[in-house]
């Protein structure tokens, strides 16, 4: 090997390591579409290694102060852009303040990935097969965004636009995600079907069921991953559940609606028809688990 010229795989870029949010958004404002934000790197570095992404500038936010909070305040459960999956997984706050987020954690990659990857990085990457985007969508999370021009809040419903594409402008930095306060008597479930544990799911579901005083469903969210170019809610199936008793008959009806309504991709891992079938099966399984937790959790979640 020639001295001073070791082999490399990634395209060349200019590396920046800001220490404040102002400095970071200043760099993004200056370089815009030529820059990429590096947080944990567990999604971006493979894209660089495969040369699917070739930014001219890389803005490493790993040393930016003030992005490391995991907070449960009156506004909800907030996770800063520097917080790694493993920290959220370990925090005792997560299970109390956002049990759906806690339930998603073990499904994300493997431990070594969770030790480095960040919650906000996963959201900003907007991979429709990843677990956290549908969780954010199911919970009506808010994404807190900063740019040189100021701050704005993007509802999860407006955030995911397409495959690896979000409404985050190229000059903006996602600084935190806020999950609203957990509603009472609400159960949760995250389940997926994948070829191997830790692989991306063929199809997965993050589900919520809220049960009212009369024992009837007051709130339902069915948020799928691996089922389209974005995470997808199926509102027609959610509506089927409202006002019903949370029982097997209602879940089967919702599952039926899901299978007919969603339009998942087919590829060499699974056909579209198989994915639609699995989505129905997951609907029944998740609703049963969530409904049970909604009943059992009346005291537990409070």
Site string for another protein, 62-81 (x = CB under 8 A): x-------------------
Candidate residues 21, 29, 34, 41; the one interacting with another protein per rule CB under 8 A: 41
Answer whether 191's CB lies under 8 Å from 293's CB.
Answer: no
Q: Which is nearer to another protein, 49 or 248 (CB)?
A: 49
3-state SS class at 274: helix
Q: How far apart are CA 275 and CA 270, in angstroms?
A: 7
Smallest distance from another protein to CB 200, Å: 11
The two three-digit tokens of residue 173, written as one number:
């930095």
Smallest distance from another protein to CB 70, Å: 17
Distances (CA, A) of 227 to 52, 177, 203, 263, 278: 23, 23, 6, 7, 10
Establish if 49 lies at the interface with another protein (CB under 8 A): yes
Distances (CA, A) of 51 to 28, 47, 229, 277: 21, 6, 22, 35
Smallest distance from another protein to CB 96, Å: 22
Establish if 42 lies at the interface with another protein (CB under 8 A): yes
Torsion angles phi and psi, residue 6, rounded to 5: -70, 155
Candidate residues 2, 197, 249, 302; the one interacting with another protein per rule CB under 8 A: 197
Q: How far apart are CA 2 and CA 7, in angstroms?
A: 9
The two three-digit tokens of residue 59, written as one number:
């803005």
Q: Are strands 165-166 and 173-179 parallel, antiparallel or unpaired?
A: unpaired
Establish if 268 lies at the interface with another protein (CB under 8 A): no
Smallest distance from another protein to CB 93, Å: 20
Establish if 13 lies at the interface with another protein (CB under 8 A): yes
Q: Residues 85 to 144: which contact another protein by CB under 8 A? A: 86, 109-113, 115-116
Establish if 9 lies at the interface with another protein (CB under 8 A): yes
Residue whose pair of structure tokens reads 């005083």 in the numeric block: 213
Candidate residues 22, 30, 50, 215; the one interacting with another protein per rule CB under 8 A: 50
Smallest distance from another protein to CB 111, Å: 6
Establish if 1 lies at the interface with another protein (CB under 8 A): yes
Smallest distance from another protein to CB 116, Å: 5
CB atoms inside a 10 Å sphere around CB 164: 17
Kindly determine how many residues on this chain lie close enough to bind another protein according to the rule CB under 8 A: 34
Smallest distance from another protein to CB 55, Å: 11
Stretch binding another protein (CB under 8 A), from 47-55, 173-181, 255-263, 272-280: 47-55
Establish if 198 lies at the interface with another protein (CB under 8 A): yes
Give the residue ranges of DSSP H helices in the chain: 21-31, 44-49, 85-90, 92-97, 99-104, 111-114, 119-125, 132-138, 235-241, 248-261, 272-300
Q: How far apart are CA 77 and CA 93, in angstroms?
A: 8
Candidate residues 23, 26, 29, 60; the one interacting with another protein per rule CB under 8 A: 60
Distances (CA, A) of 206 to 6, 45, 99, 147, 202: 45, 27, 11, 31, 14
Site string for another protein, 147-186 (x = CB under 8 A): ----------------------------------------
- Chain residues binding another protein by CB under 8 A are 1, 6-15, 17, 38, 41-42, 45-46, 48-50, 58, 60, 62, 86, 109-113, 115-116, 196-198
């Amino acid at each position: 090997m020639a001295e001073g010229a070791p082999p490399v795989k990634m395209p060349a870029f200019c590396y920046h390591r800001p220490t404040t949010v102002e400095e970071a958004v200043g760099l993004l404002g200056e370089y815009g579409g030529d820059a990429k934000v590096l947080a944990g790197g567990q999604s971006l570095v493979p894209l660089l290694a495969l040369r699917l992404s070739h930014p001219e500038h890389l803005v490493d936010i790993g040393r930016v102060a003030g992005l490391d909070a995991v907070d449960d305040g009156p506004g909800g459960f907030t996770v800063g852009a520097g917080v790694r999956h493993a920290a959220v997984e370990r925090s005792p706050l997560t299970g109390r303040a956002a049990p759906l987020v806690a339930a998603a954690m073990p499904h994300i990659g493997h431990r070594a990935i969770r030790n480095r990857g960040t919650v906000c990085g996963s959201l900003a990457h907007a991979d429709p097969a990843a677990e956290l985007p549908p969780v954010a969508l199911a919970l009506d999370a808010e994404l807190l965004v900063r740019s040189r021009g100021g701050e704005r809040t993007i509802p999860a419903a407006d955030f995911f636009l397409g495959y690896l594409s979000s409404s985050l402008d190229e000059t903006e930095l996602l600084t935190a995600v806020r999950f609203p306060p957990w509603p009472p008597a609400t159960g949760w479930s995250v389940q997926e079907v994948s070829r191997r544990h830790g692989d991306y799911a063929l199809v997965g579901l993050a589900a919520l069921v809220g049960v009212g005083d009369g024992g009837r469903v007051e709130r339902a969210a069915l948020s799928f991953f691996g089922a389209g170019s974005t995470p997808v809610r199926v509102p027609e199936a959610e509506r089927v559940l409202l006002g019903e008793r949370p029982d097997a008959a209602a879940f089967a009806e919702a599952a039926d609606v899901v299978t007919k309504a969603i339009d998942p991709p087919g590829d060499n891992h699974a056909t579209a028809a198989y994915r639609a079938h699995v989505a129905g099966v997951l609907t029944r399984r998740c609703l049963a688990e969530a409904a049970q937790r909604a009943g059992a959790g009346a005291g537990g979640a409070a």
